[in-house]
Amino acid sequence: MSQLFTPLQLGNLSLSNRIIIAPMCQYSAEQGKATPWHRIHLGHLSLSGAGLLIIEATAVEPAGRITPQDLGLWNDETEQALAQTIADVKRYATMPLGIQLGHAGRKASTDVPWRGGGFLTPQQGGWQTSAPSALPYSDKDGKPLALSKARIEEIKQAFIDSAIRADRLGFELVEIHAAHGYLLHQFLSPLSNQRDDEYGGSLENRMRLVMEIYHEVRRVFPRDKAVGVRISASDWVEGGWDEAQSIALSKALEEAGCDYIHVSSGGLSPQQQINVGPNYQVPFAAGIKEAVTAMPVIAVGLITEPQQAESILTSGQADAIALARAMLYDPRWPWHAAAALGEKVQAPPQYWRCEPHEVKGLFNV
């Protein structure tokens, strides 16, 4: 049996295989509320045969959105809109659903990518951003406000409130977004965090907010469900957040009972120098997997072929594979991977008759 199609436990959450659909922003919400686009998008991904679907980065407060079109989960209206979508998806799909909760910090208030993604002023529909320190992402952006301790407490509470809403919506997993240059990553990196209080300076201090939010989310999210963290393992900038610090954070999260770590990289600084190619982020996952004892490690980053994914698992570099753009390009990737590796996969009965003649027995009937 292939490793890719063996079951996996993330805490008390059971996955039928090790293919995970990574969060992918759709920039298609209205005032934080899910729209029919989300029903279509999540509907077909939920029928793909993957082991888990984690929906896009979802803002815990309006100021935490990357763009004005970001999905949110900060009040009754955003919860109700998403509830309708999730109810429709769960009516037909058996795949576990997770949600990534995040705050964009200084990378908030930008336009959608297909319009260039530039910073939006308040006059253009944007808003005042905030960050650990008053340092903008780039010289083209507005200067963020350094967060006061009172605002930090408000943001922590926003994560708690959104996690409670996520539980009510029926999500089986919460992923805390501490990657890609957004707020929690900004606290981790010495390039963006130049505070002189208990949230800045030493590695322990820079990790403090991530650890506090993890503990608070874990406290309010039921134990039969999973809580994990996504990190950028490196800023790809000299003097920034790096693999050694990521290993220290991973060990601290494992000791705290974290159910998994999802390992990406980059996004904090426009000065990053990344050599992009197949598996380019997998060595970070492998280094963390060597350092932790039991916490599952998810690898991501230009993993596009079934045998490529299988090799990462069989070589012990990670416990699961996350796909993002590859799933947008081919929403039936898990079906095709099962066919290539001689395995079976879940599919709705409405689709069973599409089984190719050369791979009879592909679907779990």
* Helical pair 203-220 and 149-169, crossing angle rounded to 10 deg: 30
CB 26, CB 38: distance < 8 Å: yes
CA 124 – CA 300 distance, rounded (Å): 35
* Pair type for strands 13-15 and 8-10: antiparallel
Sequence-ordered list of residues with C-beta below 8 angstroms from that of 35, at least 6 positions apart, any chain = 28, 29, 81
CA 131 – CA 251 distance, rounded (Å): 26
* 20 φ/ψ sector (left φ>0, alpha ψ -120 to 50, else beta): beta
Q: How many CA atoms lie within 13 A of 137 on its CB side?
A: 27
Residue 244 has a CB neighbour count (10 Å cut-off) of: 12
**Choice among 27, 182, 214, 260 that is catalytic:** 182
182 is catalytic: yes
Residue 126 has a CB neighbour count (10 Å cut-off) of: 20
DSSP letter string, 129-159: -EESSS--SSTTSPPPEEPPHHHHHHHHHHH
Report how far apart, in Å, the C-alpha atoms of 157 and of each of 127, 197, 220 are.
21, 20, 11
* DSSP conformation class of 233: S
CB 33, CB 77: distance < 8 Å: yes
Report how far apart, in Å, the C-alpha atoms of 73 and of each of 90, 118, 156, 336 are.
19, 24, 14, 34
- Give the CA radius of gyration of the chain: 20
Active site residues: 182
